Homo-oligomer: A and B are copies of this chain.
Amino acid sequence: MCPLKVANPTSRDIADLAGVSQATVSRALRNSPLVRKETRERIHEIAKELNYFVNRNAAGLRTHQSNTIALLLFDETGGADAQINPFFLSMLGYISRAAARRGYDVLISLQQLSDDWHIEYQASHRADGLILLGYGNYLSYREKLAALSAANTRFMIWGPILREHGGHTVGCDNENGGFQAARHLLSIGRERIAFLGQTSPRSPEFSARYAGFVDALQSAGKTPDPALKVDADNLEELGYQAARQLVESGAEFDAVFAVTDVIAIGAMRALEDAGLRVPRDVSVVGFDDMPLAAHVTPALTTVRQDIRLAAEGLVESIVGLIEEEPVESTLMAPKLVVRQSCGAHAQ
């Protein structure tokens, strides 16, 4: 006979049908060894039959957990219409999958730097921990990170290891990446390499890339030319403007290292518009290896950050924090990916 269908079955309904107590149902569904195998299976069957799923609110209330991690994405632009940096967006898939493997859901939340962050995610028991993602303005981060720490919130940051904030991080060895980029350009015979990107202390990651860049130049016996350094925030349009400015300044250069792919792509467009050909006249190297990088023409040579590894590292670590295991900040090695835009392809 068809077991009576209940609209929104509870564990008590299952219990009644199985002829056991509600507590036993709860234990059975969590596969507790305390309940006999046969009854456990019977209960599972009935639950499936009735389309029963445990009420996460009730379970969470009891256990003080949500099995959810909140992903806070920052857009550096601030506009209400702002696009999220595709580099971080592409990390989202890996994060979500890694979280799912560990039994966690992912809550996303776009944050403006100006916002009051949703520091209440954990306090309200909506999430067990946070992951912060974005090329942030660390100066304005600081106090907010302090607030997170003060509230005893568990969080992981994508970014550089900084003494100031108390949080754990997963990041990329930006200095080494900048070094690789410059060394490569030098190795293929480029002499005058321009740098495009913001290097103020509010973006330590970009500053580190620049430091590596300078280091490579100096190792080769060159000194960086201030005329070949143009500030640009991380937007395609600003990359375009920076390159245009560089061209119009009349400075001579035969290569461009852009601090992100987004800037590099804007720069390439500007160079084309100015009648310069990439890579014949100017070599271009970016940073990030976002999905787009391989598909622009010419395909962009860039410093790859392994976002999959990064995503999995972030998830592993935040889960570690949640489960009170010791967690170390990690630094990942970037890798130069040579494509067309630098002109190094011998074949």
A201 within 8 A of B: no
Note all chain B residues with C-beta closer than 8 A to A209: none
A93 within 8 A of B: yes
Tell me the residues in window 124-151 of chain A with beta carbons closer than 8 Å to chain B beta carbons: 124-126, 151
Q: What is the oligomeric copy number?
A: 2
Write the nearest CB–CB distance from A46 to chain B, whole angstroms.
15
Note all chain B residues with C-beta closer than 8 A to A236: 295
Residue-by-residue, is A268-310 near B (CB-CB < 8 Å gives 1, otherwise 0)?
A: 1100100000000000000000011001110000000000100
Using CB atoms, name the residue of chain B closest to A110.
Answer: B96
Decide yes or no: A291 and B83 within 8 Å by CB, A57-B61, A297-B297 being known contacts: yes
- CA of A126 to CA of B107, assembled, Å: 11
Total contacting residues, chain A, CB less than 8 A: 50
Using CB atoms, name the residue of chain B closest to A82.
Answer: B93
- CA of A57 to CA of B63, assembled, Å: 10
A90 within 8 A of B: yes
Is there contact, CB below 8 Å, between B86 and A93?
A: no
Where the two chains meet, the residues of A that have a C-beta atom closer than 8 Å to any C-beta of B are: 8, 51-58, 60-61, 66, 68, 75, 80-84, 86, 89-90, 92-93, 96-97, 100, 105-110, 120, 123-126, 151, 236, 265, 268-269, 272, 291-292, 295-297, 308
